Amino acid sequence: MKNSNKGQIKESSKVAKVVIYVILIFLAITIIVPVFWVFMASIKENQEFYRSPWALPAGVHLQNFADAWEKASMGSYMLNSVIVTVIAIALLIVIALPAAYVLARFKFKSSKFWNVLFMAGLFINVNYIVVPIFLMLNNADIFMRKVFGGPFFLNNLFILAVVYASTALPFTIYLLSGYFKSLAKDYEEAAYVDGAGYFRTMVQVIMPMAKPSIVTIILFNFLSFWNEYIISMTLLVKPELKTLPVGLMNLMAAQRAAVQYGQMYAGLVIVMLPTLLLYICVQKKLTQGMTLGGLKG
Amino acid sequence: MKQRKGRGRFIFLCLAPAAILFIIFMIIPTIDVFRMSLFKWGGYTADKTFVGLQNFVKLFKSDKFYQAFQNSVLLIVLVTIITFSLSLVFAAILSREKIKGQGFFRVIFYIPNILSVVVISAIFSAIYDPTQGLLNSILNLFRGGENPILWLGDRKIVIYSIIIAMVWQAIGYYMVMYMASMANVPESLYESASLEGAGRIKQFFSITLPLIWTNIRTTLTFFIISTINMSFLFVRAMTNGGPDNASSVFLSYMYQEAYTNSSYGYGMAIGAVVFIFSFALAGVLNAVTKRDEIEF
Amino acid sequence: MKAKKVISLTMAAAMAMTLGIIPEKVAHAEGEEQTLNVAVVETAYGAQMWHDVCDAFEKANPGVTINLTIDKKMEDIIMPAMKAGDYPDVIMRAVGAATALPETFIKDNNVVDLTDVLSMTVPGEEVTVGEKILPGFVDNSITNPYGDGQTYLMPMFYAPCGLFYNAALLEEKGWEVPETWDQMWELGDKAKEEGISLFTYPHAGYFDAFFYAMLHESMGTEMFQKALRYEEGIWDTPEATKVFDIITKLTTYTEPTTPGNANDNDFQKNQQLILDNKALFMPNGNWVIGEMAEAPRAEGFEWGFTALPALEEGGERASYTFFEQTWMPKGAVNQDLGKQFIAYLYSDEAADIFATVGNAVQPIKGMSDKLDGDAKLYYSVYDTGAVAVMDAFATTDPVEGITVRTTFFDPVDSLVTGDKTEEEWVEQIKKDSDELRAALKE
């Protein structure tokens, strides 16, 4: 509207702008205040939690963090979480990228079938397939015990990472192939003319272009792997193998026992901080990754 | 493109790992869910009895299932409509208007999406507290402290309290998505529309909306899938289905039956229904919203 | 890139090997070496006392190693292994919890008959287990879930449930602790004038103990047992109606914000109402004291505890006795050793550890005499004439879509908010009882 010279419109658009600012700022406050509140709660002493939740902390009680880290073993759970998340994301990228590329840009006999199958996978909810997965791994373990004398599949951080990567495949392939579809055919044609094989074309020409999309899927999947607890709780039974969110559940209210609120909120912050940090690091790329067409088609 | 040597092998090598993992860890377990829905099984021990479709028959006779069904549908509809319109409007404002601190708003609005549900439920428990909560404290300024509103304790209100939390959590995610696709709309279209005297609102409806339509359709599917899943996590963390079952949803009812009522087979029947329902709903929505692709 | 991929894959494989798994402890039976797997849910009593008791048992039985799993969410830890057919030998988890662990085993006929433990001699003592256990604790419908005269679940730490209140507040106001429900309503009206509500409850699940005790007061033992088996027409009797009427009336005296916090997250806020003198009574068990130990409270606050008021002057006053249970799944490998361990839990040595380390009281004779201070108050409730009620609804085959909690107790929330009427509540109970009755274990 910058070309409009009509004073009236200018007036009303000024009012509109003010309204817009008010709304934007209001929404921003509804987000900043509660997040800030969690940080405040994490430095409160236990007795303070029985008073108004919005009272300011009486002092900085950092002992909560030490307790959560040491006594509630959040430190070692953190290591487990890092291991699982890193392996799962690495696997996911190595496996999903080529698959998405092929599904998006090659027509072959069963390409339609696979596209539809992976789409259908979007509708499968881990909350109900977790027990079948467990039973399957367990049967495999019974077999392993017989043949190799020890179980392998359960209580294994690597297997948990494989399961995470597998359950994230439909969404990841969906995002990536949407991006690949938006690319012009010329890139590959040119590479083929230069004599590059399929594999080299994919790795050297297409992948570099997909970087922003890869950042996006890393963030999305990091969030879901890092916060996941239902699969983790089921497949990792040994206490020393717990991941962060499962450890957090133990800090939460259990009935008929006093709750260590301070520790619990410190635990919440410990779980939350890495996600916040990663997000702030990649937030620019996040929009960019989608900008490049991540979700088209 | 002319067929080249090794094409088939290349396709196979790229697709096989993903396909194998996907089949082992998603397809087979899903088939297992459908299979188990035909059995009566407590969940811990070996006693399984084949009961055919009996679990489904019971399901469709159960008031509690209808309650959960009703709540889930209400959540899907309202969360989708509210989140969709708000995030679309915010996306349009943030990408088309000259707003100071645009980047700041974009970053902040996305934050709820990266928080774990546990954090969100702790936050909302402090907001919804009947006497000391933020919401009632503010409302008390206008209506006095008599008869505080029980955000999580009133059968008629609780589901809306959950909707508010879910919308709060989801807006940023969809906003960033819409902003991303709006950035793809060529600036020249707006310039010429502007020259023709079209106002911002008209521009939004005649340019922005049609051009990001494909993206919108995609997100509708996401809305269905994620609302079913997120509503479970929210309900489990905030109310556990209470008060008196008023906030139970598909998957919370499934959990209650499969894991606390020794009715694992029945629970899996719920899982099967949810899968089919969400699949069908997405299909219907997809067909209804089909428009001719607009290229730009 | 190709090389990188290969490297990352080998690394991943190597990780898989190293992360692998800690080698399994195999229960080997060579010589005297034996491992007993014990799974215990951690409650307000804490975990330490269990570690101490297990140590003491190991000391008394050379060659025995106890593999103790104790956790607030014990089910989550052992459930996966159990689904795989790998069961702990001894489990302590009471009926009535949301996870319904023992219920599931009972429903599936998968608990070991422990009747013979009762005639075992307590290790290191002269008496048998059965002689030591307080009367009533091994012949109720919880420990004998099938009603066949056999004991399948062994009673552990008991805790009287009743109404908790601020004794100092009542004294200050000059109010008597009500002995009948009529006095209760009078007190409710008086308190209302002072802006205090008569009643609150942590969450609807706490009505189980309350409801059982009320039924017993109204029906007497024989009819109460019939009600627990959902006998036809039982909910239409005047005795049952009285109970429904009282609970419904009580909901009108309930602190109005109660349902807003009546969930697993926020229920302590309702308990706080008592500490803040905003409500007078709540149904609870003595664990509430530890649970709220750090909470701020009104000046001079002092816990008071009473059995439920009687229906009429001189009528029965009941207090539900909550107790934990130990039991053995049929899949237990070391059944004999497990039974020995259970018998040991009733020895003076073990009972003393439980009492001193965790303040947990075993249901054995003479135990409550050894208590002092606060604890004495709760356990002496039965000495002052209150009747101990310790049964629960009979176990049924799983009835899909119906649980005792959602049918009987959850609707209390709706009664308070006025979203359901007493008739609707009772109708639902009658309807669901028909189905539960049909699924009763024979």
Give the pLDDT score at C190. 94
- Whether C77 maps to a domain, the answer reads yes
In 3-state terms, what secondary structure has residue C208? helix
- Whether C383 maps to a domain, the answer reads no
Task: Give pLDDT tens digits for A246-268.
Answer: 888 777 755 555 667 888 889 88
Give the pLDDT score at B290. 82
Domain ranges of chain A: 62-294
CB–CB of A157 and C19 under 8 A?
yes
CA A33, A34, A38 angle in degrees (round to 5)?
A: 115
Task: Give whichever of A96-110, A199-213, A255-269, B131-145 has the largest mean pLDDT.
Answer: A96-110
Residue pair C403/C333 in contact by the 8 Å Cβ criterion: no
Residue type, C408: F
Give the pLDDT score at C13. 42
Give the pLDDT score at A8. 57
Q: Is the pLDDT of residue B78 over 80?
A: yes
For residue C179, the Cα-to-chain-centroid distance in whole angstroms is 25
Tokens of A190: 């040119």
Residues of chain B found within 8 Å of residue A261, distances taken between Cβ atoms? none
Give the pLDDT score at C188. 95
Clarify whether residues C315 and C277 are in a common domain: yes
- Closest to B197 (Cα-Cα) out of C41, A32, C161, A9: A9
Q: Taking CA atoms, what residue in C is nearest to A257?
A: C44
Give the pLDDT score at C6. 44
Clarify whether residues C414 and C327 are in a common domain: no
Clarify whether residues C32 and C129 are in a common domain: yes
Q: Which value does ipTM take for this structure?
A: 0.86
Distance between A219 CA and the closest CA of chain B, angstroms: 9
Residue pair C166/C274 in contact by the 8 Å Cβ criterion: yes
Residue pair A85/A168 in contact by the 8 Å Cβ criterion: no
Q: How confident is the model at residue B18 (pLDDT cuts 50, 70, 90)?
A: very high
- Closest to B113 (Cα-Cα) out of B177, B176, B174, B173: B173
Clarify whether residues C293 and C191 are in a common domain: yes
Q: Is B187 on the interface with A (CB under 8 A)?
A: no
Q: Taking CA atoms, what residue in C is nearest to B55?
A: C400
The enclosing domain of C198 has a CATH number of: 3.40.190.10
Residues of chain A found within 8 Å of residue C5, distances taken between Cβ atoms? 94
Residue of B260, B268, B273 to mutate, interface with C, max C Cβ within 10 Å: B260
CB–CB of A134 and C83 under 8 A?
yes
Which among C8, C19, C72 is the nearest to A257, CB-wise? Answer: C72
Which among C263, C403, C410 is the nearest to B152, CB-wise? Answer: C263
Q: From chain B, which residues contact C within 8 Å (Cβ)?
A: 40, 42-47, 55, 58-59, 62, 64-65, 121, 125, 128-131, 147-148, 150-156, 237-240, 242-246, 256-257, 259-263, 266
- Closest to A1 (Cα-Cα) out of B98, C5, C305: B98
Tokens of B165: 């939390």
Q: How confident is the model at residue B242 (pLDDT cuts 50, 70, 90)?
A: confident
* Burial bucket for residue C411 (CB in 10 Å: 0-12, 13-18, 19+): buried
Residue of A124, A167, A276 to mutate, interface with B, max B Cβ within 10 Å: A124
Residues of chain A found within 8 Å of residue B8, distances taken between Cβ atoms? 108
Clarify whether residues C351 and C311 are in a common domain: no
Give the pLDDT score at B44. 66
User: For chain C, how many structural domains are there in total?
Assistant: 2
Task: Give whichever of A122-131, A164-173, A281-290, C74-83 has the largest mean pLDDT.
Answer: A164-173
Residues of chain B found within 8 Å of residue C258, distances taken between Cβ atoms? 153
Angstrom CA distances, B15 to A101, A169, A193, B8, C5, stand at 9, 12, 25, 11, 16
Give the pLDDT score at C56. 94
- pLDDT, one tens digit for every residue, chain C (442 residues): 344 444 444 444 444 433 333 333 333 344 468 899 999 998 878 889 999 999 999 999 988 999 998 887 788 778 777 776 789 999 999 887 767 788 888 888 889 999 999 999 999 889 999 999 988 888 888 898 888 889 999 999 988 899 999 999 999 999 999 999 999 999 999 999 999 999 999 999 899 999 999 999 999 989 999 999 999 999 999 999 999 999 999 999 999 999 988 888 788 889 999 999 999 999 998 888 878 888 888 999 999 999 999 999 989 999 999 899 999 999 899 999 999 999 999 999 999 999 888 888 899 888 877 777 667 778 888 777 788 898 888 878 888 889 888 899 999 999 999 889 999 999 999 999 999 999 887 5
CB–CB of C401 and B257 under 8 A?
yes
CB–CB of C290 and A258 under 8 A?
yes
CATH 3.30.2040.10 for domain A62-294, yes or no, is no
Clarify whether residues C106 and C141 are in a common domain: yes
Which among A162, A188, A223 is the nearest to B114, CB-wise? Answer: A223
Question: A touches which chains (3+ CB pairs under 8 A)?
Answer: B, C
CB–CB of C105 and B40 under 8 A?
no
Task: Give pLDDT tens digits for B84-102.
Answer: 999 999 999 988 888 888 8
Residue of B38, B44, B129 to mutate, interface with C, max C Cβ within 10 Å: B44
The residue segments making up the domain with residue C304 are 161-321+393-438
Clarify whether residues C370 and C290 are in a common domain: no
Q: From chain C, which residues contact A within 8 Å (Cβ)?
A: 1-2, 5, 8-9, 12, 15-16, 19-24, 42-44, 46, 71-73, 76-78, 80-81, 83-84, 264-265, 267-268, 272, 285, 287, 290-296
- Whether C244 maps to a domain, the answer reads yes
Specify the long-range contacts of residues C428-435, CB closer than 8 Å, at least 24 apart: C429/C235, C430/C235, C430/C236, C432/C399, C432/C402, C432/C407, C433/C230, C433/C234, C433/C235, C433/C407, C434/C230, C434/C232, C435/C399, C435/C402
What domains does chain B contain, in order, with CATH numbers?
A: 55-288 (1.10.3720.10)
- Whether C2 maps to a domain, the answer reads no
CA distance B266 to C401: 8
Question: Which residues on neighbouring strands pair with residue C306, listed in sequence order?
Answer: C163
Eight-state DSSP code of residue A241: G
Distance between B104 CA and the closest CA of chain C, angstroms: 34
Give the pLDDT score at C10. 42
Give the pLDDT score at B281. 94
Residue with tokens 């039976």: C29
Clarify whether residues C139 and C54 are in a common domain: yes
- Whether C380 maps to a domain, the answer reads no
Give the pLDDT score at C442. 59
Task: Give whichever of A108-117, B70-79, C100-109 has the largest mean pLDDT.
Answer: B70-79
- Closest to A282 (Cα-Cα) out of A197, A217, A203: A217
Mean pLDDT confidence for A230-254: 80
Question: C touches which chains (3+ CB pairs under 8 A)?
Answer: A, B
From first CA to last CA, the distance across chain A in angstroms is: 31
- Whether C6 maps to a domain, the answer reads no
Residues of chain C found within 8 Å of residue B261, distances taken between Cβ atoms? 100, 398-403
Clarify whether residues C367 and C434 are in a common domain: no
Clarify whether residues C152 and C77 are in a common domain: yes
Eight-state DSSP code of residue C310: B
CA A167, A170, A171 angle in degrees (round to 5)?
A: 100
- Whether C358 maps to a domain, the answer reads yes
CB–CB of A245 and B118 under 8 A?
yes
Alpha helices in C26-164, H assignment, sequence order: 48-60, 74-83, 101-107, 115-118, 129-132
Q: Is the pLDDT of residue A294 over 60?
A: no
Give the pLDDT score at B4. 64
Distance between A260 CA and the closest CA of chain B, angstroms: 14
Clarify whether residues C180 and C294 are in a common domain: yes
In 3-state terms, what secondary structure has residue C303? strand
Give the pLDDT score at A288. 67
Residue pair A234/C83 in contact by the 8 Å Cβ criterion: no
CB–CB of A129 and B26 under 8 A?
yes
CB–CB of B261 and C403 under 8 A?
yes
Which among A135, A169, A198 is the nearest to B7, CB-wise? Answer: A198
Give the pLDDT score at A205. 85
Pairing label, strands C90-92, C318-327: antiparallel
Q: How confident is the model at residue A51 (pLDDT cuts 50, 70, 90)?
A: confident
CB–CB of A132 and B215 under 8 A?
no
- Whether C101 maps to a domain, the answer reads yes
Clarify whether residues C151 and C199 are in a common domain: no
For C325-362, letters b (16+ CB in 10 Å) and e give bbbbbebbbbbebbbbbbbbbbbbbbbebbbebbbbbb
